[in-house]
Structure 1
């Protein structure tokens, strides 16, 4: 918990989640007066960690704020704008960004901070972003948009987020410049981890299981990946203990298909296409169709008509974190061992480790159900980032 100065600038939080953005504003001396979210688990988590009680409420237009504020902070749903979500243009949640801007205009709050995914600035999402800015500017606000990397704020991950700042009035301004006192790394974030910490319960895969066998073969900074070459990728045919043995020539066939599927394009979309026996034969004149059939039967090749492709075409699983670097984005599935591995142990990540990489303090309490905890952490704004944004907002309001 943190104490609030009740004479401070007043903040209302929309789509508060577990309160990562609110945490920074409270630490910077703002008075969080009200918080709202439609997610019951988010509201429960928020109320375990903050001095005011969040309310569970659907936020949209019309939505009337009964509490006056100096600042509105909001993190409207981002799934429809996200590259990970597949750019769902018709996702009904996309309209909540615009509804947030309308609430800001109606409230006549002095300042608004709206946070979303970095992909909000991408070409596919430009219409929504421009509409959001239009609503705010026509409502009397000057706006600034910036895409930030969490690592620049001292957070041990390369998470990128878009921040829209809107200040009442016509005077222009710039979004704050981040700073950090040290170079963040995964190793530094994990120092002093103890099983006595809440939500830190390392789970190791059963000996001889798929997860155990694969994890043992993945080195620091590597991932299980058939579609990319290089030292960072470990192919399924390089793990015979689980996927089966392949001869030297069969490996040559598979790596040839890997190269051709990206080089010999047949479609104007995607990043790879299946290849024909003729195409493979130009690289490997001695190839026989029966050899491809055998690889198909053993699960390395899949066939579509007269074309052949690799069976497992994901870009990477079982990604092992690098201790001397920042982490990939901590998303809502960060605890899945098939997606991410601990930098030095053959297991997935714990809730507390994900929280450390987001910059949450160890006394911040998360739900006991791990799926809920990872989702709330993955959707949150990293507290070190929110603290600096909040401090910059104080300056914008003076």
Structure 2
């Protein structure tokens, strides 16, 4: 009778070899350690661990890198800044329209709505985010997988029906981009990038006048800038002029330092404009200004303000975390304590880890997260509390979206 071979996970191999999991991942990606990947998890055969251990790779000293000239890619953005200050307070209602792919709970949609746009459709697969979206907006929301042709058709037909023959002004979306890699001098895409390619397909079929694409700042450094260049090239090949730069949400009254790369493109021969910052760092809205009043507010589930109950031991640990630092060394991007008298650090939900309250020994509530993301208090989140936190952590801050939308309005006014 054959005995089924037992597979090891990355943490098992790291423990066995006395190194960090990061080092094991690095050698898997380099091909030095063989593994099988199933549902996003690497599994390693014990015999392959032995081969790897005997190869001497772990014992090899890293080669000293000699300084090289002209090897660092330096990007210089061509940015046209729009002064949106005069229209910030009370933007007039317009006939401009917008629709949103990967819409989540609706941060981008809310911002465009604040800027006077009429939203005509949103699409996302996240069930609980869809519940939130439908709770807060009257326009159609399509729940489904964008990779399915029937879902694409439903979204496109819904948008076209709402437009009644008129062009769509803006199509926005924050697309995943993990699946880019290099093959020689050529960028290739794996199956994880189907979502990005589906977005391009919908752009091509809907032909919006403008595209607004949002992503994490780290995209700029992917493959030494080549990923950003490919995205710009792909959009340009659809007939659009593209401009891109990084915007900090705190510059637009969001009480949070959150940097995002923003692509703005149009196919109507206009000059793309990005919103000129409204605030300087010394004028940023602080965490205290945003959530201080909620400290004395009793728990209220209908208002999404329910405190997490921690053990006494955990409360003591949370109290000792310095502002701007994380509870765990291995998770620097989660369980981070917000500064009280500055704009908050980036708001995230990372596998249950959310930001720590600056003056109370607990993590922040859903409503506090929403405030720091600039959602208005009448924006109500649906689903289980953990799902609500994921929705907010993934959202585009509405006030950042509002600033971008006002810049598009300025573009059209030229």
Task: Report the equivalent of 1:116.
Answer: 215
Structure 2 residue 315 is the aligned partner of structure 1 residue 212: yes
Q: Secondary structure at the match of 1:321?
A: coil
What's the CA shift for 1:191? 2.9
Structure 2 residue 139 is the aligned partner of structure 1 residue 52: yes
What's the CA shift for 1:98? 3.4
Residue among 341, 348, 358 paired with 1:324: 341
Work out whether residues 334 and 378 of structure 1, in 8 Å CA contact, stay in contact via their aligned partners in 2. Answer: no
Residue among 112, 117, 125 paired with 1:30: 117
- Structure 1 spans left out of the alignment, 5+ residues: 82-88, 227-312
What's the CA shift for 1:147? 1.0
In structure 2, the CA distance between the partners of 1:112 and 1:314, relative to structure 1 (3 Å rule), is closer
What's the CA shift for 1:164? 0.8
Work out whether residues 273 and 407 of structure 2, in 8 Å CA contact, stay in contact via their aligned partners in 1. Answer: no
Take 2:108 and 2:356, find their aligned partners in 1: how far apart are those partners?
27
**1:268-307 paired onto structure 2 within 5 Å:** none
Task: Report the equivalent of 1:77.
Answer: 176
Task: Report the equivalent of 2:239.
Answer: 140
Work out whether residues 241 and 267 of structure 2, in 8 Å CA contact, stay in contact via their aligned partners in 1. Answer: yes
What's the CA shift for 1:316? 8.0
In structure 2, the CA distance between the partners of 1:95 and 1:162, relative to structure 1 (3 Å rule), is farther
In structure 2, the CA distance between the partners of 1:55 and 1:222, relative to structure 1 (3 Å rule), is closer
Deviations 1:91-148 (A, max 9, x none): 7443322332332233221111111111121133744432321222122111111111
Take 1:332 and 1:225, find their aligned partners in 2: how far apart are those partners?
14
Please provide the CA RMSD for this pair: 2.8
**1:243-392 paired onto structure 2 within 5 Å:** 318-333=335-350, 336=353, 340-392=355-407
Size of the alignment, in residue pairs? 298
What's the CA shift for 1:199? 1.2
In structure 2, the CA distance between the partners of 1:31 and 1:373, relative to structure 1 (3 Å rule), is same
Take 2:117 and 2:385, find their aligned partners in 1: how far apart are those partners?
31
In structure 2, the CA distance between the partners of 1:345 and 1:59, relative to structure 1 (3 Å rule), is same
Point out the more displaced range, 125-134 or 109-118.
125-134
Work out whether residues 143 and 172 of structure 1, in 8 Å CA contact, stay in contact via their aligned partners in 2. Answer: no
TM-score, normalised to structure 1's length?
0.67
The structure with the largest alpha-carbon Rg is 1
In structure 2, the CA distance between the partners of 1:383 and 1:317, relative to structure 1 (3 Å rule), is closer
Q: Secondary structure at the match of 2:274?
A: coil
Work out whether residues 217 and 261 of structure 2, in 8 Å CA contact, stay in contact via their aligned partners in 1. Answer: yes
